[in-house]
Chain A
Amino acid sequence: DGGITQSPKYLFRKEGQNVTLSCEQNLNHDAMYWYRQDPGQGLRLIYYSQIVNDFQKGDIAEGYSVSREKKESFPLTVTSAQKNPTAFYLCASSIDPEQNIQYFGAGTRLSVL
């Protein structure tokens, strides 16, 4: 089955801890994206990558980091510098950054202990 897999489904972060959210896709899509969604709000772009070994900051990149070493994978690290990390994190991919028809994974819900 083709799709976008995010793990874990739920994640808890302790004070001062870095945590990494996984996003894997087997759709052979070139572009991948990370969004954050807070309750009752729309999605905000954190980082995106249009090709391997290249990525750009989105609108709210502070306190986050990413890598794109493989086409299939785009992990997101929430660092201790992100003071309000509790949110629903969504990974998306699109076959063509120009048309930008994005499909989403199931999401990871991050909470602070």
Chain B
Amino acid sequence: QKEVEQNSGPLSVPEGAIASLNCTYSDRGSQSFFWYRQYSGKSPELIMFIYSNGDKEDGRFTAQLNKASQYVSLLIRDSQPSDSATYLCAVTRRAAGNKLTFGGGTRVLVKP
């Protein structure tokens, strides 16, 4: 079982719709959760981070964390073609010296 799992996609979303991305993790000791966006050929860009159960909103992005079920999700509202990218979920575990463990990423395609 991978430590951090994401559906590789592609997730195809019409322009203006909501994109919903999911990420599950195996270690219940995980403390911090991050979402990065990576355009093709570019480096990852931090979108959001969340530490506590519940929702955290920033503009068109909402991160949702459920530690009991060991998943974190990212919602992108009013999706735009410029949101087409790979979204990487990352998790830190205190037991592993707070190292960041990445999932394989979900590719999102927003169609006009």
Contacts and interface: CB of A to CB of B under 8 A. Distances in A.
A58 B99 contact: yes
B43 A107 contact: yes
A102 B32 CA distance: 12
B46 A101 contact: yes
Interface residues of B, number: 21
B contact face: mostly helix, strand, loop, or mixed: strand
B7 to A, nearest CB: 13
B92 interface: yes
Contacts of B98: 97-98, 100
Contacts of B4: 42
Interface residues of A, number: 23
B110 to A, nearest CB: 20
Nearest to B45: A104
A33 B4 CA distance: 19
B103 A42 contact: yes
A41 B34 contact: no
Most buried by A among B4, B32, B90, B100: B100
Contact of A43 (B45, B49, B88): B88
A12 interface: no
Contact of B34 (A97, A101, A105): A101
A101 B88 contact: no
Interface of A: 33, 35, 40-45, 48, 56, 58, 90, 97-107
